[in-house]
Amino acid sequence: MCLAMPAKILSINGDEAEVDFGGAVKRTNISMVDAKVGEYVIIHAGFAIQKVDEEEARETLQLWNEFLEDSEVA
């Protein structure tokens, strides 16, 4: 199963960016997208593969958090 998640770009250094997945900060390669600090991108296998608007990113992260919370209860 493949999973791609939205993340907010916090900083950029060349082709690498520090991104926030709603609390988890990681480094990722952004060479395939033209993105700026503060924008949201979809990350798959360590690469930003497309930009996404903030509303869609926040909705996806909220759904993911709800899924994780429900999984912990079960």
Scored b (16 or more CB within 10 A) or e, 39-70 reads bbbbbeeebbeebbeeeebeebbeeeeeeeee
Query: Percentage of the chain with pLDDT > 70?
Result: 95
**What's this model's pTM, rounded to 2 decimal places?**
0.84
* Domains of the chain (ranges, CATH numbers): 5-73 (2.30.30.140)
* pLDDT one-digit tens code per residue, 40-61: 999 999 999 999 999 999 898 8
